[in-house]
Structure 1
Amino acid sequence: MSSSNRSRTTDWQLTVEARARRVRAELTDLETVPGTERDRAAALMSLEVVDAALHARDRWLHAIASWWSGWHIERAWRALHEAEIRVEAAQPDLAGRLPGLRQRVASYLPEDDLRRRALESLQPSRPASSVDRAVVVDALRAAFDATDDAHGGARALRNKLIAAAVILFVINTALGVLGLVRAGFIPMCAHLPEAGEHSSQLTVCASGGRLPGPADIWLVQLVGAFGAIIAAVVLLTRRRPSLSPYVLIGYQALIKVLLGSALAVVGVLALSAGVAQGLTCITSQSALLLWSALLGYSQQVGTRLLDNYADRVMDQVRPLPETTVHPR
């Protein structure tokens, strides 16, 4: 493989390539087993599809469309799974592999699934018949279909996160530009505590002045993003590694930062309107910026639900474990 190809190899490609090599090794062993020609031919055709998907090099426009649709990832996994199914069905020692196959199927099929029940009813103590092999094929295909379909769900969630991030970025940018053009249109200021007859008119703004300035919204967004980054760091530290072809954690962190910026602006605007009067005590610019950071961190309340949903999706798309290889 050339250096340019190596630089574009990702974790999911390494996993698929490793499993494809394992399938080819199994096919080599099956060459001396009579009656396996049809399964070996089907497995080789699937491996050709895997190779084409792994080494596809499209032009940048097609590469973006491919990345968005995920066709090369899902096509490679589906073809690899079909090759693995064909190899398992042709194994002469299939009866001895049943415990490992049951473990793989149990990860994705519920206990009341008839295909899983049929697989669990097979006896490893006797040689596998053609009916037993058909049961194994159906059960494995159902389990692989479940994880392959979950890939589509993870891709759809990733694309939604990207779309939401773009919308939030546009909104934050528009608010910042509006603050530059009309500084007082969205005041990022708060009333100081009463200390005299006319003190209710005294305010402090995000940039430190008594009147709204063009940098107020940008400063509030920056401090709000800092508060959200703290929540994003917590997310990164608690997330376990995954070999899933779709990685969502970066997009989740981006949503937190952008949403934190937006909520900081909305929150300071509420403080300026006196919505939280009596609940907060803002006496200086530092206090106002501190509230901006806290408001930015408050996005964690809403994005926590998103994090939990993303965790469930990622659990479903993890690759099925390999079958235990028995000595021949």
Structure 2
Amino acid sequence: MGDVVARKPRITDWRLVVQSRLDRVRADLAALGPPDPLDQEGQRWREAAEQQAAVVEDMITRGESRWRVVASWWSGWHIERAWRSLHEAEIAVVAAGSGFLGRLPGLKARVAENLDEDDPRRRALEELRPGEFPLPVEREIVVDALRAAFDASDFAHAGSRALRNKLIATSVVLFAVNTLLGAVGFAEPGMIPMCVGSEKLPTVCPSGRGPTGADVWLIQVLGAFGAVLSAVVLLLRRRPSLSPYVMVGYQAMIKVLLGSALAVVGVLALGAGVTTGLIAVASQAALLVWAVLLGYGQQLATRLLDSYTDRVMDQARPLPRLEEQR
């Protein structure tokens, strides 16, 4: 029965930001005063702003069943619908008033952050001079430029959601691989040899007592510990973001799971003699330290992922309120 009853929406960062900007949209609508009967187009923009504001309110207060919450979280439709509607409401508020040209400096700065220099909509807005065209034409120039800028942000939101889902899927695969390796090593000790030896050095095993079923698990745990160290570095250098999709947790999960797997592969390489002449493992402690270092070594593989994620998140940051640019 609990799965059927709608659940109240959780208080999340993106809801707080959207609610704050929605309140400002409504305050700006109220500040416009009574509509001008001679400006029918302005009245239509007022109505559009009110309609979009109602959609935003529905998105941030909507309650859903448990299964629909999971589906909505995966697809992100409610988040992206809320942001798109909020952007449309903000555009409509700007267009509804007759004094929107007073905001030109801020509007130009906002559009410049999201459109290329050679974009005709950006050029038209930057070259616009108050009184140069009739009011409806000036209004359309402003609306087109703002809509293009907001669309760039909305498309970036969709791209960050797709990246988040890919990180989750990759984490599931890595978790399954690590679990399988650990289960095989536990069921058949020695099938995945974690002991290292050579002609000149004695054979060393992770447990110190010869091959055991816990060897693979132990190496995975130490590899995960090494990866945690790099995840801490990631957390320390992560910049605050108001994006509705926060990636740092999924990035850290990838690092930990990949560190576990690479530690096992690395110890296998040590046991196979791949590093003969370069690395000598003379004791159990040395082997365990190498497991930690191999787990930390995943940083070389995930650095490109971190850089790519940073670029995606920079593009997906929510646009600040238009009035703040004035």
| Secondary structure of residue in 2 paired with 1:324 | helix
Aligned match of 1:212 = 211
> Are 2:108 and 1:102 aligned?
yes
> Are 2:31 and 1:29 aligned?
yes
Q: CA deviation at 1:30?
A: 2.1
CA–CA separation in structure 1 for the residues paired with 2:138 and 2:237:
43
Aligned match of 1:156 = 162
> Are 2:65 and 1:66 aligned?
no
User: What aligned pairs does 1:94-173 form with structure 2 within 5 A after superposition?
Assistant: 94-124=100-130, 129-173=135-179
CA–CA separation in structure 2 for the residues paired with 1:297 and 1:126:
62
| Secondary structure of residue in 1 paired with 2:129 | coil
Aligned match of 2:242 = 243
| Secondary structure of residue in 1 paired with 2:322 | coil
| Secondary structure of residue in 1 paired with 2:196 | strand
Q: CA deviation at 1:125?
A: 7.6
Question: Is there any run of 5+ residues in structure 2 with no aligned partner, and where?
Answer: 1-6
CA–CA separation in structure 1 for the residues paired with 2:319 and 2:78:
19
CA contact (8 A) 1:106 1:116 kept: yes
| Secondary structure of residue in 1 paired with 2:137 | helix
Q: Which digits, 9 at most, give the CA deviation of each residue in 1:173-195, with x for residues without a partner? A: 1100101110110010110561x
| Secondary structure of residue in 2 paired with 1:179 | helix
CA contact (8 A) 1:264 1:295 kept: yes
Q: CA deviation at 1:126?
A: 7.1
Change in Cα spacing, 1:144 to 1:227, as seen in structure 2 (3 Å) is: same
Question: Is there any run of 5+ residues in structure 1 with no aligned partner, and where?
Answer: 195-199
CA contact (8 A) 2:242 2:317 kept: yes
Aligned match of 2:4 = none
CA–CA separation in structure 2 for the residues paired with 1:300 and 1:256:
7
CA–CA separation in structure 2 for the residues paired with 1:113 and 1:325:
24
CA contact (8 A) 2:204 2:284 kept: yes
CA–CA separation in structure 2 for the residues paired with 1:325 and 1:146:
19
CA contact (8 A) 1:96 1:326 kept: no
> Are 2:296 and 1:294 aligned?
no
CA contact (8 A) 2:106 2:325 kept: no
Aligned match of 2:3 = none
CA–CA separation in structure 1 for the residues paired with 2:107 and 2:97:
12
Normalising by structure 1, we get a TM-score of 0.93
Q: Which digits, 9 at most, give the CA deviation of each residue in 1:186-229, with x for residues without a partner? A: 010110561xxxxx6x41111112x3110000000000001101
Q: CA deviation at 1:323?
A: 2.2
Q: Which digits, 9 at most, give the CA deviation of each residue in 1:105-132, with x for residues without a partner? A: 1111011000000000112587972111
> Are 2:25 and 1:18 aligned?
no
Change in Cα spacing, 1:325 to 1:300, as seen in structure 2 (3 Å) is: closer
> Are 2:194 and 1:184 aligned?
no
CA–CA separation in structure 1 for the residues paired with 2:142 and 2:29:
18
CA–CA separation in structure 1 for the residues paired with 2:199 and 2:318:
59
> Are 2:49 and 1:43 aligned?
yes
CA–CA separation in structure 2 for the residues paired with 1:217 and 1:41:
64
CA–CA separation in structure 1 for the residues paired with 2:219 and 2:120:
58
Identity of aligned residues (%): 59
Q: Which digits, 9 at most, give the CA deviation of each residue in 1:244-273, with x for residues without a partner? A: 000001000000000000000000001111
CA contact (8 A) 1:192 1:283 kept: no
- 1:248 is aligned with what amino acid? M
> Are 2:306 and 1:276 aligned?
no
Q: CA deviation at 1:325?
A: 5.9
CA contact (8 A) 1:12 1:245 kept: yes
CA contact (8 A) 2:153 2:317 kept: yes
User: What aligned pairs does 1:300-311 form with structure 2 within 5 A after superposition?
Assistant: 300-311=299-310
